[in-house]
A and B are shown apart, each in its own frame.
Chain A
Amino acid sequence: MTANTQVARSGGRLWQGLSLQQKQVVWAWAFLAVPILFYGLIRFYPTVEAFVISTTNWNLMSSPSFVGLANFKRLMADPVFWQVFRNTFLYLLIGTPVSLVLAFTIAYHLDRVRFMHGFIRALYFLPFLTTATAMAWVWRWFYQPVPIGLINDVISSLGFSQQPFLRSTTQALPAVLAPAIWAGLGFQVVIFLAGLRAIPTTYYEAARIDGVSDFAILRKITLPLLKPTIIFLVVFSSIGFLRIFDQVYNMTSGDPGGPLNATKPLVLMIYQTAFSSFDMGYAAAQTVVLFLVLLCVSLLQLRLLRDR
């Protein structure tokens, strides 16, 4: 008992001995500890765990045993993995530039519109609020052959032959990507608009007095000053496209990942390996690869787009 009071007293003395600034730091850390602990528990611990599981042959039901890098070797030899890897990068390499150019063009022009500005902006933002699943199903029906597919109905009424869209190995991926781009557009437009509004008008006034062309203003003033916005959107949408899942899963649910894996992204492969084949070790290995890819892409982009 005396020991306890002594500890308490010495603790009290320790606290008294701290300066006001030191106390503030201690308090700050005490509050910060909660989110850090939470984050560590639900984010970092499972991440580390995934690395561990990727070296086992755990099937959820049996106890896992260590197999070294066997899962990674199997992954390298799996043709489906390379197909899926290619798809994942196609989503990124087509999706990010197309959506950014579209979003910027819309935002650039919308910024100059005063008439019904808010209404038009809301229209662009609306798809972002819609559930991806519901949207994917609507688009899935758009793509159907005659007589129920809207797009094919139009095409064939104009006298052209029908397109297979989701039933094709070449058209399926762009067909799935289109609604994904469309859905994310509203968000990007709003961010671009905010970025455009943040540029001081004095620059534009000065340029106009000097008689600089619109195109030069865009190139020399608007785009350079939008750089932080662009970096944010490139990283944000890249990660989004690398993790694409809902659209693919719902638009091709009968044959998940499209005909001959034409639309299957890495995330869907991980999901199937883990939760339909229950091959947890193999799925964890795929997750590790996805993690490394996301890490590299993000670091690379931050480096390339960094202010020099």
Chain B
Amino acid sequence: MRGFRGLVLGVLMSVGAIAGARAQAVEIEYWQYVFDARIKAMNELIKRFEAANPGIKVKHTTFPYADYQTKIAAAVPAGQGPDVVQLYYGWLDNFVGAKFIQPLPRDAFPHDVIEKEFYPIVQTMKRDGEYYGLPTAVRTLALFYNKKLFQEAGLDPNKPPQTLDEYLEAAKKTVKRDAAGNMLSAGAVIDMPGQDLHWWREVLLRQMGGKPYSDDNKTVVYDSEAGAKALNWYADLQRVHKVGQAGFMDEGQAAFRAGRAAMTVDGSFRLGAFGGIKNFEWGVAELPASADGKRSNFASYWVNAITAKPTGAKLEATKKFMAFTTSPEAMQVWLDMVGELPARKAAAETEKNLSHPIYGPFLKALNYSQATVFVDELAQRQVGLDMANRVFIQNQDAKASLAEAAKAEQAILDRFYKK
């Protein structure tokens, strides 16, 4: 709504200024990392934005993912670089702490509108009462399943498992082993370096009655009964039921793509890659609920934020551009071109989207999703991988492994919040 009004305002203003204003067009710079579909979608958005705002030019610059943060950190303090920047929601604290980005101006982005129209996960963008960024699109997890393998195992390919128990049963029926016990096709993918760590931390753990962090995110609390229960349930898929195997086919998504895994938990960002599968039909379902019907999900997103650089006319232009990239129109473009889900409820939960066989399950999850607050995403990820590896490779007891992980992760959090 707001975005549309901003757009109309922008059009009116630029129509008013159009005589001779061409020469003094404001140029703003937008940065994101290299990801083909995102670049194409952003080019489309810029084309539409510039058509509606003839006085503003947007320069679109991209960098390989590996260099992206370093480039920003080098450019912004030098007064160079972007006016609007895309960043992972988990990086926000570092960017705010370094004063790289400014709070979203309240006149263009009123808080009550954000809170009413966006999904609650954007709350993680709030620091000291100010919003620092807004997403165009969000991603959630879902259960991908191979309909062909389901059918071969005598399961109904149109009835994916709804609960964790059904998930385990389906995995047992679909797993294939040779005479020597070597896995030929997995029933359920075990892939911590993939999305399983998120599945464990924000979904399984909560379904078993626990939670990963304290409410202020400063304390690790997964070292609990629920934590052990969740970790054991997950590890038993390999240890006891032997329906999956860490490292099978190198990566979970590779196993699924090759038709050698019946089920995998993965994100909406994988839709593009799985779209190329020709050998079998696959389906998407909501992540399985616990026995008492509890559901949870992990959402993550990239936001656009205004850097500390623009002021005056440039700031006005960036406000308009930001408003446009977070408008329902932009979100539909993003869904169609990138496959990522709209961050506004109204844009996401249209009749058409909700009943969509693939987008539907991802969208439903947005209402019960959690966005983990990271202070050092890769270091925290490493703690989780090590926790699982101690259980899988060294046969360590789940409780002991959890305690070790909690201690290591707490040290990372302490080092960050102490500053």
Inter-chain contact A146/B97, CB cutoff 8 Å: no
A253 — nearest CB in chain B belongs to which residue? B193
Inter-chain contact B385/A276, CB cutoff 8 Å: no
Tell whether B117 is near chain A: CB-to-CB under 8 Å: no
Inter-chain contact A144/B386, CB cutoff 8 Å: no
Contact among B66, B97, B184, B390 for A260, CB-based, below 8 A = B390
Q: Which residues of B sit under 8 angstroms from A60, Cβ to Cβ?
A: 69-70, 73
Inter-chain contact A276/B183, CB cutoff 8 Å: no
Tell whether A229 is near chain B: CB-to-CB under 8 Å: no
Inter-chain contact B70/A61, CB cutoff 8 Å: no
Contact among B73, B178, B193, B382 for A61, CB-based, below 8 A = B73
Q: Which residues of A sit under 8 angstroms from B98, Cβ to Cβ?
A: 61-62
How far is A26 from B23 in the complex, measured between Cα atoms in Å? 57
Q: Is the interface of A mostly helix, strand, loop or mixed?
A: loop
| Nearest Cβ on chain A to B389's Cβ, whole angstroms | 4
Question: Are A259 and B393 also in contact (CB < 8 A) when A61-B94, A272-B378, A277-B376 are?
Answer: yes
Tell whether B214 is near chain A: CB-to-CB under 8 Å: no
Size of the chain A interface, CB-CB below 8 angstroms: 30
How far is A276 from B69 in the complex, measured between Cα atoms in Å? 9
Tell whether A131 is near chain B: CB-to-CB under 8 Å: no
Size of the chain B interface, CB-CB below 8 angstroms: 38
The residues in B between 287 and 316 inclusive whose CB is less than 8 angstroms from any CB of A are: none
| Nearest Cβ on chain B to A78's Cβ, whole angstroms | 10
Q: A11-19, A38-46, A165-173: which lies at the B interface?
A: A165-173
Q: Which residues of B sit under 8 angstroms from A277, Cβ to Cβ?
A: 376, 378-379
Q: Which residues of B sit under 8 angstroms from A261, Cβ to Cβ?
A: 386
How far is A169 from B66 in the complex, measured between Cα atoms in Å? 27
Q: Which residues of B sit under 8 angstroms from A168, Cβ to Cβ?
A: 393
Inter-chain contact A164/B247, CB cutoff 8 Å: yes
Q: Which residues of B sit under 8 angstroms from A59, Cβ to Cβ?
A: 94
| Nearest Cβ on chain B to A74's Cβ, whole angstroms | 9
| Nearest Cβ on chain A to B270's Cβ, whole angstroms | 15
How far is A140 from B247 in the complex, measured between Cα atoms in Å? 11
How far is A59 from B193 in the complex, measured between Cα atoms in Å? 26
How far is A234 from B77 in the complex, measured between Cα atoms in Å? 45
Tell whether A66 is near chain B: CB-to-CB under 8 Å: no
Tell whether A222 is near chain B: CB-to-CB under 8 Å: no
Tell whether B100 is near chain A: CB-to-CB under 8 Å: yes
How far is A260 from B249 in the complex, measured between Cα atoms in Å? 20
Tell whether A127 is near chain B: CB-to-CB under 8 Å: no
Contact among A145, A259, A260 for B245, CB-based, below 8 A = A145
Tell whether B394 is near chain A: CB-to-CB under 8 Å: yes
The residues in A between 127 and 158 inclusive whose CB is less than 8 angstroms from any CB of B are: 140-141, 144-148, 156
Inter-chain contact A156/B180, CB cutoff 8 Å: yes
A71-111 contact mask (Cβ, 8 Å, vs B): 1 or 0: 00000000000000000000000000000000000000000
Tell whether B234 is near chain A: CB-to-CB under 8 Å: no
Question: Are A278 and B94 also in contact (CB < 8 A) when A146-B184, A260-B386 are?
Answer: yes
The residues in B between 98 and 141 inclusive whose CB is less than 8 angstroms from any CB of A are: 98, 100
A275 — nearest CB in chain B belongs to which residue? B70
The residues in A between 237 and 262 inclusive whose CB is less than 8 angstroms from any CB of B are: 254-255, 259-261
| Nearest Cβ on chain A to B2's Cβ, whole angstroms | 31
Contact among B182, B377, B379, B385 for A255, CB-based, below 8 A = B385
Tell whether B52 is near chain A: CB-to-CB under 8 Å: no
A57 — nearest CB in chain B belongs to which residue? B419
* Pair count A-B, CB < 8 A: 80
Tell whether B368 is near chain A: CB-to-CB under 8 Å: no
How far is A169 from B390 in the complex, measured between Cα atoms in Å? 10
Inter-chain contact A167/B393, CB cutoff 8 Å: yes
Question: Are A276 and B386 also in contact (CB < 8 A) when A61-B97, A156-B182, A167-B246 are?
Answer: no
Contact among B178, B183, B193, B377 for A254, CB-based, below 8 A = B193
Tell whether B351 is near chain A: CB-to-CB under 8 Å: no
Tell whether A5 is near chain B: CB-to-CB under 8 Å: no
The residues in A between 259 and 308 inclusive whose CB is less than 8 angstroms from any CB of B are: 259-261, 272, 275-278
Tell whether B29 is near chain A: CB-to-CB under 8 Å: no
Q: Which residue, of B94, B95, B250, B385, has the highest number of chain A Cβ atoms within 10 A?
A: B250
How far is A161 from B182 in the complex, measured between Cα atoms in Å? 9
Inter-chain contact A260/B73, CB cutoff 8 Å: no
Inter-chain contact A162/B247, CB cutoff 8 Å: no
How far is A259 from B249 in the complex, measured between Cα atoms in Å? 16
| Nearest Cβ on chain B to A168's Cβ, whole angstroms | 7
How far is A168 from B246 in the complex, measured between Cα atoms in Å? 11
| Nearest Cβ on chain A to B65's Cβ, whole angstroms | 11
Inter-chain contact B184/A147, CB cutoff 8 Å: yes
| Nearest Cβ on chain B to A202's Cβ, whole angstroms | 57
How far is A188 from B389 in the complex, measured between Cα atoms in Å? 37
Tell whether B251 is near chain A: CB-to-CB under 8 Å: yes
Tell whether B248 is near chain A: CB-to-CB under 8 Å: yes
How far is A148 from B184 in the complex, measured between Cα atoms in Å? 9
Inter-chain contact B394/A148, CB cutoff 8 Å: no
B96 — nearest CB in chain A belongs to which residue? A61
Inter-chain contact B376/A259, CB cutoff 8 Å: no
Question: Are A145 and B393 also in contact (CB < 8 A) when A61-B95, A162-B182, A272-B378 are?
Answer: no
Contact among B73, B192, B194, B394 for A169, CB-based, below 8 A = B394
Q: Which residues of A sit under 8 angstroms from B245, Cβ to Cβ?
A: 145
The residues in A between 156 and 215 inclusive whose CB is less than 8 angstroms from any CB of B are: 156, 159, 161-162, 164, 166-169
| Nearest Cβ on chain A to B319's Cβ, whole angstroms | 24
Q: Which residues of A sit under 8 angstroms from B95, Cβ to Cβ?
A: 61
Contact among B66, B97, B260 for A62, CB-based, below 8 A = B97
How far is A62 from B77 in the complex, measured between Cα atoms in Å? 9
> Can you show 28 pairs from A to B with CB atoms below 8 A apart?
A60-B69, A61-B77, A61-B94, A61-B100, A140-B250, A141-B250, A145-B248, A146-B178, A146-B182, A146-B183, A147-B182, A147-B260, A148-B249, A156-B180, A164-B247, A167-B247, A168-B393, A169-B393, A254-B194, A255-B385, A259-B393, A260-B393, A260-B394, A275-B70, A277-B378, A277-B379, A278-B73, A278-B94
Sorted nearest first, the 8 A-B pairs with minimum C-beta distance are A61-B98, A254-B193, A276-B378, A146-B182, A167-B247, A259-B389, A60-B73, A255-B385
Supplied contacts A166-B247, A272-B378, A277-B379, 13 more A-B pairs, CB within 8 Å: A144-B249, A145-B183, A146-B184, A147-B184, A156-B182, A161-B180, A255-B382, A275-B69, A276-B376, A276-B379, A277-B376, A278-B69, A278-B94
